[in-house]
Amino acid sequence: MRGLIAYSSMDAERNRAFIEDLMNEAESAGICLDLWTRDDLPEEPIDFILSRRRNSDQSARWEAEGIRVFNRSEVNRIANDKFKTFELATLLGIPAVPTRKIRFSDDVTSYPSVLKTVDGHGGNEVFLCHSPNDAEAFFRQFGECLIIVQPYVESNAQDVRVFMLGNEVLGAVLRKGNDSFKSNFTLGGSVTKYELNDLQVNEVQTITQALKSDYIGIDFLLLPDGRWLLNEIEDPVGARSLYETHDFSVAERLMDYLKRELTN
């Protein structure tokens, strides 16, 4: 069984440790796994691609070649568009942060509001705006992008990221921001292990069943009263906070999952 793990060249450098972990676990599982940073495909036949890129069109081209892609292109397309993520949540009846597309700073009708580009990730391209001047500054910087606006939701700068492997809850972490309303671990926030209740498990499984996803992260704002609101879906999702809070190898679980999927 042979596959590729596809990264952009830049992301491959930043994720070298995880790539090495994946390759070691793949070898233990009897899988030949090569790092691939090019856009074309190797001449030798391959069975699958584990895509760690944010390029749904490219994934769709690989699928058209008859290659099994983890995650499939439709998952990548929805996860990397925050408005499509909101539309999915609405369709499924999952409580989500109200989201709408806007074209101009004047379209922001109340403050404070959160402005985002639809395809930003890692907490980048996300700004809390307290006034029209703030919104205008955001548009000056990102006006060429597709932009959404969300009301500011008080969450004490904390959210929950749920890591899903198929329909299984692989683990969940509570992320708390450090001097920022953003809670991203890579931006200096803290993480602790988080246990989901039955309702929360049902909601994340509703999402993964609809998406037919393989390995994703689902982010929820955690409200002071204990409820949560879907905020974003991450594909590809980083594993740093999961390694930080759990005592198993994400790479091992992922390789076991791929092998089961490819042999069934």
| DSSP symbols for 192-209 | EE----HHHHHHHHHHHH
Residues 16 and 125 in one domain: no
Give domain status of residue 262, yes or no. no
Provide the token pair at 23. 């390759």
Give domain status of residue 8, yes or no. yes
Give domain status of residue 253, yes or no. no
Instruction: Provide the domain count of the chain.
Output: 3
Last residue of a domain, one of 125, 151, 177: 151
Residues 66 and 6 in one domain: yes
Using CA atoms, how far apart are residues 112 and 114, in angstroms rounded to an integer?
7
Report the CATH number that the domain containing residue 180 is assigned in CATH.
Answer: 3.30.470.20
- Could you read off the pLDDT tens digit of each residue along the chain, which spans 264 residues? 999 999 999 999 999 999 999 999 999 999 999 999 999 999 999 999 999 999 999 999 999 999 999 999 999 999 999 999 999 999 999 999 999 999 999 999 999 999 999 998 877 899 999 999 999 999 999 999 999 999 999 998 899 999 999 999 999 999 998 765 555 555 568 899 999 999 999 999 999 999 999 999 999 999 988 899 999 999 999 999 999 999 999 999 999 999 999 998
Using CA atoms, how far apart are residues 79 and 82, in angstroms rounded to an integer?
7
Give domain status of residue 225, yes or no. yes
